[in-house]
Amino acid sequence: MSLQSTSQHSVSEQSATVLLTQELIRRRSVTPQDCGCQEVMIERLSAIGFNIERLRFGDVDNFWAVHGSSGPTLCFAGHTDVVPTGPEENWQQPPFEATITDGYIVGRGAADMKGSLAAMVVAAERFVAEHPDHYGRIAFLITSDEEGIAINGTVKVVEWLQQHNQLPEWCLIGEPSSTNQCGDVIKNGRRGSLGCTLTVKGQQGHVAYPHLADNPVHRAAPALAALASEVWDNGNQFFPATSFQISNIQAGTGATNVIPGELQVIFNFRFSTELTEQQIVQRTEKILDDHGLQYAADWNLSGHPFLTSEGALVSATVESIAAVTGLAAELSTAGGTSDGRFIAPLGVQVIELGPVNASIHKIDENTNIDDLNNLTAIYQTLLGKLLVSAHAQ
């Protein structure tokens, strides 16, 4: 795709969703900064009657917005923070100017996920204009702490919602789920993520006198090979098999003639519902023990696997995509973690639906304008199916 700037704009390029996407991209909200993105959204939502709760935890801005007074709640969830750009001189278009080129918006956050946020707001505006006294409630759960350490964002807002008895029945997260065209894939679950920092102890010494030292790299290598070749499970109809990946290995002083006294290995499991984190820990440490290692393992659970296999939300979303695009959406649990890991365990039906994810976190991140306009229509259609059609039945 060419990313040369174009000066001519079609009607679709001037849509409300496109203009709001550009306005959000132009704010340099590198995580955990929000840079006023949420106030832009709050102003639009307040204007159509949403009640707003600003929820700041630590250095993170969040908000909860609700339209309607009773009945089941459909919550749109997402984040205003973005990842760093990398060297800006490597971008064909400036990352925070939201340039329109060849039918695409180019900029950091275009796909992940300011385009989705804009589509959510515009869909809500259009739906409320047509159904001001709709059944049920529409909500927004927005954070600026998704791309970072994620400790003062959605997880804290969910705790607040529990305390105030406001958990939604349905939650749609605007993560970029699509593969080739907006709506071709719905994420109806995510694998769990379990990380470990493993420290293997040895004894430092001179490489010329290995009998007077104990090389932790040599000791750990067979154990790491065993972990890498282990079949942890075979997955199931919703999840691929659990995977083990080493991401970092560090040892030594930098000198060529010194046997290291310690080895540090960082690895991660992306696991299915076939396993619990306790089972993974036990099996991993048994392999390490069987190889006679002296070690310390520091485990970190980033999120449990979750699945929304069926129900009103999945059905209505599949139908909405078909109505707008003609696509038969595929259900998938592939990919990384998302803030759904904080919401789904509380019994909420959770899915993810957003733009094509091919360019996320990359130089020249972009999203297709027609896809954004279709996404707005899908969100609006979904609101109608859950808060109008279902109630009428």
* Catalytic residue positions, numbered: 81, 146
* ∠ Cα 371 376 379 (to 5°): 120
Q: What are 190's strand-pairing partners?
A: 306
Give the span between the Cα atoms of 119 and 126, in whole angstroms. Answer: 11
Angle between helix axes 369-384 and 16-25 (nearest 10 degrees) is 110
Q: What one-letter code names the amino acid at 256? A: T
As a 3-state breakdown, the chain gives helix, strand, coil percent values, each rounded to 5, of 35, 25, 40
Give the C-alpha separation, 25 to 115, whole Å: 9
Separation CA 56–CA 199 (nearest Å):
37
257 contacts 217 by C-beta, under 8 angstroms: no
E-state strands within 255-305: 258-259, 262-271, 295-303
Query: What whole-number distance in Å separates Cα of residue 307 and Cα of residue 176?
Result: 18
Residue 12 contacts residue 373 (beta carbons within 8 Å): yes
Q: Which residue has the tokens 């069987």?
A: 290
Query: Is the distance from CB of 268 to CB of 194 less than 8 angstroms?
Result: yes
Instruction: Report the candidate in 132, 117, 134 with the shortest Cα–Cα distance to residue 47.
Output: 132
42's tokens: 């709050």
- Which run of H or of E encompasses 76? strand 73-79
Candidates 66, 61, 67, 65; CA nearest to 38 is: 61
Q: Is the distance from CB of 55 to CB of 64 less than 8 angstroms?
A: yes
